[in-house]
Structure 1
Amino acid sequence: MYFLRLVYVLWRTWRSVCQCGASSPRIHDGGSAMSATVADERPSVGRLLRSAREPQPRTTNFKFLWIVVIVANLFGLLMILSASSVTALYQYGTSWYQFRLQAIWFAIGCFAMFVMSRYSYEKLSKWMKLALFGSAGLMVAVLIPGVGVSVNGSSRWLGWGPLRMQPSEFVKLAVILYAADTLTRRVGQIRDWKAVMRPIAIVFGAFAVMLMAQPNLGTTIILATIVLVMLFVGGVPGKPLALLSGLLVGAAAFFAIREPYRWRRLMSFRDPWADPLYTGYQSLQSQIGFANGGVLGTGLGQGRAKWGFLPEAHTDFIYAIIGEEIGLVGSVLVIGIFLAFALLGIRTALHARDRFGMLLATGITTWILIQAFINVGACVGVLPITGVPLPFVSAGGSSLVVTMAASGILLNIARQGR
């Protein structure tokens, strides 16, 4: 019954989003910064927000979001057990090591999600500065020799042994909070794009420089996409957004091209056979895993890629293990989970009680979706490999806890929605 209701709600949401493009009324400027009516939006966004608001029980999105997040995590735990079993047995003497570690992080993440789902999102703005400065401090610490932990040439972690954290995960949530707060407080200046974009661009630029110093191009791309989408939904005019997008693309290309090795690795996805034992190795092994899996897969736990052929099988390339062991069916299931999250996240934003909630929901939904898109694209060989994990599914402590805390914020917005 829950599944049928979920399908029904998702279908209605999709129909509402598709139909809104045919409507023509405009929304004129007006309203307070925290009013329920989204003021100063560009017409298309305004039409979307009004035409898709259908009367529904306020707990509908809450229930289904909760189900989708928990199902994704439980599925991830199962696949982590399978994907990490061989390396865990070799390194730690038990195939259950990574599973147990991830289960602990999952429990912590559930607690974080529960707390954030009960904490009114309207109060988050007062923690925004602490989140920004705290994230910046952690990012600086990562770059200090002897403090930051370097893995495979990238210094992205703090901690020791199995207890590690990745500060860049906290940066995503901090920037979302800042952008949502700024776009809400300055709603009356939304047409003065410099007044709105300048502070957000400065904060993003500072974090982008620290991210590229690690280097961490994948997270930089995710952060840039989040900011651009939030600016667009927030009502910033199209021309400055196009200019900012061009500058970001140019900057990313500059950082990638200036180091030939990094550029070769990024472009190896186009022809992994050109260097099958080095830059194209991971991409090839991932695609071989999908080919071995076929439609139904080799069977859970029966894959061969995890036997030392595919590095990072339980983290960045867990989607390839899913494709090998559960086949096309499992691959489509994962995409279906994120599609459900996308539609529920959009619906939560559309039914948000105020502008701040709408922007928060937009940022969080964009974050999860773009990260999943980049990970899946890298695994199937259509995007460069950037070391981005699959949300809720890949192994990783700080990534899981922060994404579940963000999901808790989304749940709180859904709970209070109209």
Structure 2
Amino acid sequence: MGKKNPYDFTIIVTVALLVTTGIVMVFSSSFSYAMVVMGDGYYFLKRILAWAAIGTVAMNFCARVKYWKWSKYANIILVGSILLLVLVLTPLGKEVNGAKRWIGVGSITVMPSEVAKFAAIIFIATSVTRKKESMQTFTYGVLPYLLIAGMFFGLIYKQPDFSTAFVVTVVIISMVFVGGMKLSHFIGLAASGFIGLASMIGYIFISGKGYKAKRITAFLDPWADPSDSGFQAVQSLLALGSGGLFGRGLGRSVQKHFYLPEPQNDFIFAIIGEELGFIGGVAIMLLFMILIWRGIRIAINAPDLLSCLMATGITTMLIVQVVINIAVATSSMPVTGMPLPFISFGGNALVVFMASMGILLNISKYTNMNRS
């Protein structure tokens, strides 16, 4: 390994700002809901503070563990994540709002799909590094990872959770591409994926059955049915629009008062836009852009293929989730459940992202680049 450098200070500061913003906005957006439903206005605040503390410990731990040591446990992590995904579909899984995505006892729960993201990054990076000579072939270099992606997609989609299944698949394909996949193979897979996705959306739309069809029609015209299928999109747009340039002011959101369902989760960006305005929303996006920029630079300047692939997977996961969440909040794509990294309420997601940033920080110690 090369000479050690200091941790990438920009990542540390950016993550700290995003997490702090998330804690403040979770409290602001959830107080009314928590007071009425939970009987405690500080319900979500206390939990996000606890998860942020756990995430900080996880980030510190992963930053101290030499990134190549994760390869020793890649197979165990993969098998463990698959077992958790299988268990969530058994009676051990907890169902909330029609989705079965959690395993747990009482108030302590684990979301296996979040663990799957982390496991996929570690395993794919390790496996591709070990067989990089075969990556130019489809049968031995690409097909095995397509099967792994398909397995993850199927298990997560079954919950159902299409957005997370999509994220895991995109992360795996991006890592395999960077790991040496032929451009022709990548173009073929991208075209096949696009055709498959378009066909699935078309079938859902034409059949007009189920909540998925309603989400597609609501995306095309949310104002056609503002009280039912288009309700979430309309309320999100109203929140963003009423915020104006500078916002109503922190804590002064109207839409969080039982207009926008569970505003501390998937639609927290809409509350940010309402309370902090266009300026606040742009500031959050700039923080994400800085974090993505540092992740890309670390991947490009990584000391070896393993670290490059890990950084690629982590950065891709961040990019896809940020784009999907903000696109949903702005009605630029159909409504789907995808938390905003570091900001939305969700302990498992917060810990996984902070742990991933810890790995990125460790890689940065062995990466030679301008840290200004």
| TM-score interval for Structure 1 and Structure 2 normalised by the shorter chain | over 0.9
Task: Name the CA distance, whole Å, in 1 between partners of 2:88 and 2:199.
Answer: 23
Equivalences for 1:250-265 in 2 at 5 Å? Answer: 250-253=195-198, 256=201, 257=203, 260-261=209-210, 262-265=212-215
Task: Name the CA distance, whole Å, in 2 between partners of 1:147 and 1:70.
Answer: 35
- Counterpart of 1:64 (choices 10, 30, 52) is 10
How far the C-alpha of 1:255 sits from its partner, in A, is 5.1
Task: Name the CA distance, whole Å, in 1 between partners of 2:239 and 2:78.
Answer: 40
Task: Name the CA distance, whole Å, in 2 between partners of 1:156 and 1:266.
Answer: 23
How far the C-alpha of 1:362 sits from its partner, in A, is 0.6
Name the structure 2 match of 1:283.
Answer: 233
Amino acid corresponding to residue 304 of structure 2 in structure 1? D
How far the C-alpha of 1:161 sits from its partner, in A, is 4.3
Task: Name the CA distance, whole Å, in 2 between partners of 1:359 and 1:303.
Answer: 41
Amino acid corresponding to residue 57 of structure 2 in structure 1? F
My pick for the range that moved more, 165-174 or 87-96, is 87-96
Aligned length: 363
Task: Name the CA distance, whole Å, in 1 between partners of 2:138 and 2:304.
Answer: 21
Name the structure 2 match of 1:29.
Answer: none
Task: Name the CA distance, whole Å, in 1 between partners of 2:274 and 2:55.
Answer: 28
Task: Name the CA distance, whole Å, in 1 between partners of 2:227 and 2:92.
Answer: 32
Equivalences for 1:210-359 in 2 at 5 Å? Answer: 210-253=155-198, 256=201, 257=203, 260-261=209-210, 262-359=212-309
- Counterpart of 1:204 (choices 149, 159, 173) is 149
My pick for the range that moved more, 239-248 or 358-367, is 239-248
CA contact (8 A) 1:270 1:382 kept: no
- Structure of higher RCO (CA pairs closer than 8 Å, 6+ residues apart): 2
- Counterpart of 2:325 (choices 352, 375, 379) is 375
Amino acid corresponding to residue 32 of structure 2 in structure 1? V
Say if 2:333 is the partner of 1:405. no
Aligned Cα root-mean-square deviation (Å): 1.8
How far the C-alpha of 1:57 sits from its partner, in A, is 9.0
After superposition, give the CA deviation of every residue in 1:91-113 in whole Å (9 maximum; x if it has no partner): 23322110110000000000000
Amino acid corresponding to residue 115 of structure 2 in structure 1? F
Name the structure 2 match of 1:104.
Answer: 50
369 and 89 in structure 1: CA distance in 2 versus 1, 3 angstrom threshold: same
How far the C-alpha of 1:254 sits from its partner, in A, is 5.3
How far the C-alpha of 1:296 sits from its partner, in A, is 0.5
Scaled by the length of structure 2, the TM-score of the pair is 0.93
How far the C-alpha of 1:194 sits from its partner, in A, is 2.5
- Unpaired segments ≥5 residues, structure 2: none
After superposition, give the CA deviation of every residue in 1:70-126 in whole Å (9 maximum; x if it has no partner): 111011000001000001111233221101100000000000000000001101111
CA contact (8 A) 1:182 1:200 kept: no
Name the structure 1 match of 2:69.
Answer: 123
After superposition, give the CA deviation of every residue in 1:28-76 in whole Å (9 maximum; x if it has no partner): xxxxxxx99xxxxxxxxxxxxxxxxxxx9932x6111111111110110
How far the C-alpha of 1:162 sits from its partner, in A, is 3.2
Task: Name the CA distance, whole Å, in 1 between partners of 2:350 and 2:97.
Answer: 21
- Counterpart of 1:187 (choices 112, 132, 155) is 132
Task: Name the CA distance, whole Å, in 2 between partners of 1:354 and 1:303.
Answer: 48
- Unpaired segments ≥5 residues, structure 1: 1-34, 37-55
Task: Name the CA distance, whole Å, in 2 between partners of 1:217 and 1:294.
Answer: 33
After superposition, give the CA deviation of every residue in 1:377-418 in whole Å (9 maximum; x if it has no partner): 000010111100000000001111111111111110011212
Task: Name the CA distance, whole Å, in 2 between partners of 1:139 and 1:267.
Answer: 31
Say if 2:362 is the partner of 1:415. no
Amino acid corresponding to residue 129 of structure 1 in structure 2? N
Task: Name the CA distance, whole Å, in 1 between partners of 2:302 and 2:154.
Answer: 33
3-state secondary structure, aligned to 2:95: strand
How far the C-alpha of 1:131 sits from its partner, in A, is 1.1
CA contact (8 A) 2:157 2:165 kept: yes
Task: Name the CA distance, whole Å, in 2 between partners of 1:224 and 1:264.
Answer: 25
Name the structure 2 match of 1:27.
Answer: none
Task: Name the CA distance, whole Å, in 1 between partners of 2:256 and 2:105.
Answer: 25
Task: Name the CA distance, whole Å, in 2 between partners of 1:276 and 1:239.
Answer: 44
My pick for the range that moved more, 102-111 or 215-224, is 215-224
Task: Name the CA distance, whole Å, in 1 between partners of 2:81 and 2:217.
Answer: 31
How far the C-alpha of 1:200 sits from its partner, in A, is 1.0
3-state secondary structure, aligned to 2:266: coil
CA contact (8 A) 1:164 1:397 kept: no
Amino acid corresponding to residue 312 of structure 1 in structure 2? E
3-state secondary structure, aligned to 2:8: helix
Equivalences for 1:70-85 in 2 at 5 Å? Answer: 70-85=16-31
Task: Name the CA distance, whole Å, in 1 between partners of 2:5 and 2:145.
Answer: 32
Amino acid corresponding to residue 313 of structure 2 in structure 1? G
161 and 291 in structure 1: CA distance in 2 versus 1, 3 angstrom threshold: farther
CA contact (8 A) 1:178 1:200 kept: no
Amino acid corresponding to residue 79 of structure 2 in structure 1? F
How far the C-alpha of 1:193 sits from its partner, in A, is 3.1
3-state secondary structure, aligned to 1:326: helix
Task: Name the CA distance, whole Å, in 1 between partners of 2:13 and 2:217.
Answer: 38
After superposition, give the CA deviation of every residue in 1:154-203 in whole Å (9 maximum; x if it has no partner): 11111244322211001111111122112211222222232111221111
Tell me the percent identity: 35
Task: Name the CA distance, whole Å, in 2 between partners of 1:264 and 1:93.
Answer: 33
Equivalences for 1:146-185 in 2 at 5 Å? Answer: 146-185=91-130
CA contact (8 A) 1:268 1:280 kept: yes
How far the C-alpha of 1:320 sits from its partner, in A, is 0.4
Could you list the runs of 4 or more consecutive aligned residues of structure 1 that deviate by over 3 angstroms after TM superposition? 249-259
